[in-house]
Chain A
Amino acid sequence: MLKQIIKIRVKQFFRVAAEAGFFRAVFLLAMICFGLLAMFLKLEDKSYQEIIIVVVAISILSIHLKRKDREFINIYSTKPYFIFLTEYILLGLPLLGALIYYGFWTYVLYFSLLLALIPFLQINTRATNINSWFQRIIPDNNFEWKAGIRKNLFLFVGIWFLGLVMSFIIASVPVAIFVLGVFVLSFYEKPEPLQILLVNELGVTKFILKKIKNHLMIFAATTTPLVLAFLIFHPHYYFIPFIEMMMFSFLIAYSILLKYAFYRPENSSAVTGIFSMIGIISVFIPVFFPVVLVLSVKFLVQATNNLKFYLNDFN
C-alpha cells in the first residue's frame, strides 16, 4: 500500500505541474528552492531555530488534520500510521537534513518526535455550528469571512482582544494584526460554488472591484480599533501598524485575484495553494514581496479572462 500511495503522490505532483504549465512550474520550483535555502540560512541564527521548527511542525499538523484521504487510508491500509509517518518524514526531510547538517541533535530529536506524534492525532474536524454576533455583523457578501471566522472564532476574537487589551506593550498590536492577517489570507483558499459567484449578477470588472473593495473594508474595520489603540500608546511609531495594514490589504487583494485566476466551480486548484503560500511567505521573507506585486498584475489579467466565461451574461 505504501508503494501505491507514493506512486499516487508522484502522479499528483506531476498533475499539479501540468496544471500549472511548464514556466509556472519552473517558477514555483525556483520559489520553493529559494524558500528552502532561506530556511537553511536562517537556521544558523539561534533566535529563528525554534520558530522554524514550530512553523514546519504546525504546517505538517495542519496537513494531517485537513487531509481528506485520512479515512480512506485508515480503512484500506493495514498500517496507516506507517503511511502517514513516511509522508510526513518526506515533507520534513529538508528541515531534518538541515538540522543534522548543523549538528543540532536536540532539535533533530524534538522534530522527529513531533513527526512521530502527528499521525496519532485523529481530531474530527467536523464543521462547527457557532453563530456568534460577530458573524451576524459581517455583511452577507463576505461569506469567506463568515466561514473563516466560524472555523477559528475563539482564536480570532481572542487574538483581537488580546492585541487591544495589551496595546500598551509596543509589540502586541503589530503581532495581533500580523496573526489576524495570516488568518484572513487563509479565508480565500477555497473557490465558491457557481451559484454564489453569480449571485451579484455583475460583469467581470465590477465583480472583481466590488469583491476587493468589500474585503479590504472589512479588514480595515477589523484592524482599525487595534491601530487606534496602538496610536494612543505609541504615537511615534505610527508607521508600523500602517505599513502592516497596507501590506496585508495588498495580500488580501492578491489572494482574491489568485482565487479567481484559477477559478473552477467546486474545484480547488493545487496551484492556487502553492501561490497562496508564496503570498504568506512574503510576509516572513520580504524579498518575495516584489514577486507578489508582479504576480498580482498577472493574476488580475488571468482572473478577468477566466471569469468572463461565467460572468459574460452580466456585462
Chain B
Amino acid sequence: MIENLNLEMQNNCIHGIVGLNGTGKTTLLNSIYGLKIYTKGEMLFNNEKFSKKLISYLPAENYFYSNITAREYLSLFKNKQFDVEKWNALFLLPLDKVIDNYSTGMKKKLALLGIHKQDKPLLILDEPFNGLDIETSRIIRSILIKLKDKGKTVVVTSHIIETLTNMCDYIHYLENGRIKYSVGKGEFKDFESEIFHSIESKNQDLINELLK
C-alpha cells in the first residue's frame, strides 16, 4: 500500500524508481496510469491530471492476444512515421510468426516496439530489462537516452540498481510505500554503496547464524 507518498519528477529526464520486492513500485506506476484508484491526494503531469492519452505504459509482465502475429499486433498502433522494419532491425524479431510461440525476451522486445510506436510524451516502463540479454538491454538503454534527448520523460523501475545508475538522471528510492529519498546523478555512487551496505548489514547476522 502506498501512503504519504510525495514525489516530484522533472520533465525531459529519465527517472528510476528503485525498491525491494513488494515496496509498491508497480502500484505506484499503476496509479499514475490510472489502473489503481487512489483514495487521497492527486497526481499531476504538467499541472493537469494524468491521462492515458499522454502515457505509454509497459507492464512488468507482457500479455498478448493469442494467435496474432507480431506484425498484426504492431499494426494496431496508428503511427505512419514508425517504420516497423527499420526498428525491428534492432531486435530481429520474426514479425510474421504468432506471438504465442515467442520467448519471454522476444515478447518484451515486441512490447517495447509497441511502446515506441505509440510515441507518447511520457513513458512508464515497469522492469523493462527483465528477461532481456545484454545486447538488447544496452540497445534499450541507448533508445531511452535518445528519447529523453528528444523531449520525452521516462519513468523506469528496476530492482537491479546497476541498470538504472548508468542511464537515469534521478533515482527515487521507494520503501514501504513511501519515497525514502531521491538522488541526482552526482550522488548515485554514494546512494548505491549506502543501499548495498544497509541491505547487507541488515541480513548479515542472520546469514552468519544460518551458515555457522
Contact = CB atoms under 8 A, between A and B. Distances in A.
A57 B71 CA distance: 37
Interface string B38-64: 000000000000011100010100011
Interface string A239-266: 0000000000000000000000000011
A148 B98 CA distance: 12
A295 to B, nearest CB: 25
B72 A314 contact: no
Interface string A68-99: 00000000000000000000000000000000
B100 A143 contact: no
Contacts of A127: 66-67, 98, 100-101
A131 B71 CA distance: 11
B96 to A, nearest CB: 6
A196 B76 contact: yes
A164 B124 CA distance: 51
Contacts of A314: 52-53
B114 A195 contact: yes
Interface in A265-315: 265-266, 312-314
A193 B97 contact: no
Contacts of A129: 69, 96-98, 101
Interface residues of A, number: 28
Nearest to A128: B98
B75 interface: yes
Interface residues of B, number: 27
B72 A146 contact: yes
B34 interface: yes
A67 interface: no
B58 to A, nearest CB: 9
Given A126-B100, A143-B73, 17 more contacts: A127-B67, A129-B96, A143-B68, A146-B68, A147-B66, A147-B67, A147-B68, A148-B67, A150-B68, A150-B98, A192-B65, A193-B65, A199-B77, A199-B78, A266-B63, A313-B34, A313-B52
16 contacts: A135-B72, A140-B76, A143-B72, A143-B76, A146-B67, A147-B66, A147-B67, A148-B67, A150-B68, A150-B98, A194-B35, A195-B114, A201-B53, A313-B51, A313-B53, A314-B53
Interface of B: 34-35, 51-53, 57, 59, 63-69, 72-73, 75-78, 96-98, 100-101, 111, 114
7 closest Cβ contacts across the A-B interface? A147-B67, A127-B100, A266-B63, A313-B52, A313-B51, A127-B98, A140-B75
